[in-house]
Amino acid sequence: MRHRVLRPPYCYRWAVLILTLVTVTTFAVAALRTSSAVGAPTAANPLGHATSTPARATPPPVAAEVVRHTDRPGRVVALTFDDGPDPVYTPRILDLLSEHDAVATFCMLGSEARRHPELVQQVLARGMRLCDHTVSHDQDLRTRSEQRITAEVMGGWTDLQIAAGRDVPVPYFRAPAGNWSERTSAVAARNGMRSLAWSVDSRDWTLPGTERIVAAVKEGVEPGAVVLLHDGGGQREQTVAALAELLPWLLAQGYELGFP
C-alpha cells in the first residue's frame, strides 16, 4: 500500500499559517489588557474613566512693562482695590460702584479668594476685572527664586480660576507692596498678565482718616490715572467712606471710571 507523502511546500504553508494565527492572537490579548488597564477602576479613578485630561491653554504672553495708566486716553480714571476680597468691605464697595455705574479692578490674594469664592463671583458679575496679587502677599517676593515667584504668581492666578468656578480672564498682576522686579514682571508677562502699578497712592492703608484719603486722590488724579485703594488687608471703613465722596466728585469733574 502506497502512502501519500506530504510535500515540503505544504509544510511551509501550514507553518506560516500557524505562526500568523499565534501572532494575531498575541497582539489581540495585549491590546485587550492595555484597554482594560486604562479603564479599570482604581482608588483614584473608581469609575474607570479615562484619567488623561487636556491641558489648559496658556494665555498668550504680553509685554513685561509696568502699567500706570488707563487703557484709553481722555478723562478716564481707573480705581484699583488691593488685598481682598473681604466679606465686610468688598460688597459695600461693589454697591457704591454699581450705584454710580462705575467699574474697578480688584487685585485679589489667592488665599482670600479661596476663603471667599462667592465674592470673586460677585465681583465678576458686577462687570469688574480681576488682578492677580499673588497667593500670600510676600512683600519680599522680588528677592525669591524664579521657582518661588512662579509659584506665587501662578498660584494666585489658579486660585482665582477655581474661586470663579469657570475660566476667567485675569489681565493684570500686581506685585505685593509694589515691589517689582524684572523677574516678577517677566513671569507675569509670560502667562498673559500685565504688571499693574498705580499713579495715585491714596495711602488708605495707613488709616490716615477719610478726609486725607479723599484729599490725596483729588490732588493726584488726572486723565489716565490709576488709583490705589484697598478693600482688604485690614480695617477699611475709611476707604469705604472716602469712596462714597470720591465717586460723585469724579463724575462731577467729567471723569469716566474705566480700566488700566
pLDDT for the residue 60: 87
C-alpha 46: how far from chain center: 30
pLDDT of residue 34 exceeding 60, the answer is no
What residue ranges in the chain does DSSP mark as E strands?
66-67, 76-84, 105-108, 129-132, 172-173, 194-196, 200-201, 226-230, 256-257
Q: What mean pLDDT value characterizes the chain?
A: 85
Residue 171 lies in a domain: yes
92 lies in a domain?
Answer: yes
In this predicted structure, the answer to whether residue 210 has a pLDDT above a threshold of 70 is yes
Separation of alpha carbons 21 and 13, rounded Å = 12
Distance CA 132, CA 194 (A): 10
**Percent above pLDDT 70 for the chain:** 78
How many independent structural domains does the chain possess? 1
Query: pLDDT band at 21, cuts 50/70/90?
Result: low
Q: What CATH number is associated with residue 201?
A: 3.20.20.370
Percent of the chain with pLDDT over 90: 75
Report whether pLDDT(29) > 90. Answer: no
The catalytic position among 82, 86, 159, 204 is 82
The catalytic residue among 116, 133, 137, 230 is 230
- pLDDT exceeds 60 at position 16: no
pLDDT digits (tens, 9 = 90+) for 80-135: 999 999 999 999 999 999 999 999 999 999 999 999 999 999 999 999 999 999 99
Quickly state the pLDDT bin for 23 (edges 50, 70, 90).
low
Burial 219-249 (b: 16+ CB within 10 A, else e): eebeebbbbbbbbbbeebebbbbbbbebbee
- The single residue listed with the C-alpha cell 506665587 is 152
**Is position 41 within any domain?**
no
Q: Is residue 15 part of a domain?
A: no
Query: pTM here?
Result: 0.78
49 is catalytic: no
Asked whether residue 187 is assigned to any structural domain, the reply reads yes
Give a yes or no: residue 42 inside a domain: no
Q: Report pLDDT digits (tens) over 212-224.
A: 999 999 999 999 9
192 inside domain: yes
Give residue-wise pLDDT tens across range 37-55: 433 444 334 333 333 333 4
Containing structural domain, residue 79: 66-257
Give a yes or no: residue 197 inside a domain. yes
All three cell numbers of 195, joined, read 504688571
Known catalytic membership, residue 86: no
pLDDT, mean of residues 136-153: 96
